[in-house]
Amino acid sequence: MKNLVLPLLTAAALLTLPSFTTPLAPAGSAVSRKDAAETYAAQPQLSTLGWVAKKVGGQHNGAVPLKEGAVQVKGKQIVGGTFTFDVAGLTVADSQSPRLLAHLKSDDFFSTEKNPTATFVITSLKTTKPDAAGNNAEVTGNLTIKGITQAISFPAKVGVKDGVAAASGTATVDRTKFDIKFRSKSLLDTAADKVIDDNFTLNFNVVAKKDARS
């Protein structure tokens, strides 16, 4: 299990989003401009970001703490958000190897000494017809890892009720787009039995609360 690991985040298991009974607007609908956006503060202690990275013959998983964040809400819909994750504080759930953790934080992977945080900024959130997993929105945003920003899109389950906004889902990320190429299949000198998948997954569950003073 030497030097396996790979990029950031994606939890061993996707946590279940709190039950929201308030329906979203119809799929693809826009929010009324009369509704002023309100800011809900992300709750790091209630939020999770897990990662799963696979390789030939195995995988690793762990988590990355949410450092801070804010969700923009109009009416009963999430319309934006900005999140900062503590990559320097990432953990590995399936191994106690100090060597593995150190390697993940090295320049082969996340370069956490130079880039201790990663960010995600929502640029678009469209309501969709709920799928079998309960996802009712398509989220698009800018993910920044190692100072490199790339746009990603993924389905999510979102809801707003009683001053609480929540979102959960799974995103697939191509690590090579963030200059994380250790043992990538794209490198000619990577042996076939040593390849680490270029794609890793991020499982997230984010909870944000409206400021009682607002």
Give the CATH number for residue 129: 2.40.128.110
Domain that holds residue 54: 38-210
pLDDT at 15: 34
The more confidently predicted of residues 71 and 26 is 71
112/102 Cα distance (integer angstroms): 10
Query: pLDDT category, 24, cuts 50, 70, 90?
Result: very low
DSSP lists the bridge partners of residue 165 as: 160, 208
Neighbours of 46 (CB within 10 A): 16
Average pLDDT over the chain, rounded to whole?
86
**Is 16 a member of any domain?**
no
**Is 82 a member of any domain?**
yes
User: What are the contacts of 112-115 at 24+ separation with CB within 8 A?
Assistant: 112/87, 112/88, 113/88, 114/146, 114/147, 115/87, 115/145, 115/146, 115/147
pLDDT at 189: 78
88/80 Cα distance (integer angstroms): 25
- Sign of the torsion angle spanned by Cα atoms 121, 165, 48, 54: negative
Contact 14, 168 (CB under 8 A): yes
Task: Give 137-185 pLDDT, tens digit per residue.
Answer: 999 999 999 999 999 999 999 999 999 999 999 999 999 999 999 999 8
Contact 64, 119 (CB under 8 A): no
Check whether 29 has a pLDDT greater than 50.
no
71/32 Cα distance (integer angstroms): 18
**Is 13 a member of any domain?**
no
pLDDT at 194: 83
Contact 112, 76 (CB under 8 A): no
183/196 Cα distance (integer angstroms): 6
pLDDT at 4: 39
pLDDT at 14: 32
Check whether 26 has a pLDDT greater than 90.
no
pLDDT at 35: 61
**Is 10 a member of any domain?**
no
**Is 19 a member of any domain?**
no
**Is 102 a member of any domain?**
yes
Task: Give 114-133 pLDDT, tens digit per residue.
Answer: 999 999 999 999 999 999 99
Q: What is the mean pLDDT of residues 44-70?
A: 97
Q: Is the overall model pTM greater than 0.95, yes or no?
A: no
Domain count, the chain: 1
Task: Give 78-116 pLDDT, tens digit per residue.
Answer: 999 999 999 999 999 999 999 999 999 999 999 999 999
The separation between the first and the last C-alpha atoms of the chain, rounded to the nearest angstrom, is 50
DSSP 2: T
